[in-house]
Amino acid sequence: MIQRAMIQKVLLYYELPVLVCLGLLLFMTVFIATLIWVFRKGSTNFYQGLEQLPLQDLNLLNGQEG
């Protein structure tokens, strides 16, 4: 109950609530775009190649190729 009164006081004196909505929309847009970019079709091969990079360094140190 105290928290709700505090939020009401803050919003009462806040002059630009549009900026809050704009910030939320910007965050959601970037978040959804990132999800789409990561899970896009054809990205599996790219990420599998990245998965093997640390292991390639170990193989070179042990004298193995591949």
Q: What is the pTM of this model?
A: 0.54
pLDDT at 15: 80
Q: H or E segment at 21?
A: helix 17-38
What confidence category does residue 57 fall into, taking pLDDT thresholds of 50, 70 and 90?
low
pLDDT at 27: 97
Which amino acid is residue 65, in one-letter code?
E
DSSP state of 1: -
Q: CA neighbours within 13 Å on the CB side: how many for 46?
A: 7
Tens-digit pLDDT profile for residues 16-41? 878 888 999 999 999 999 999 988 88
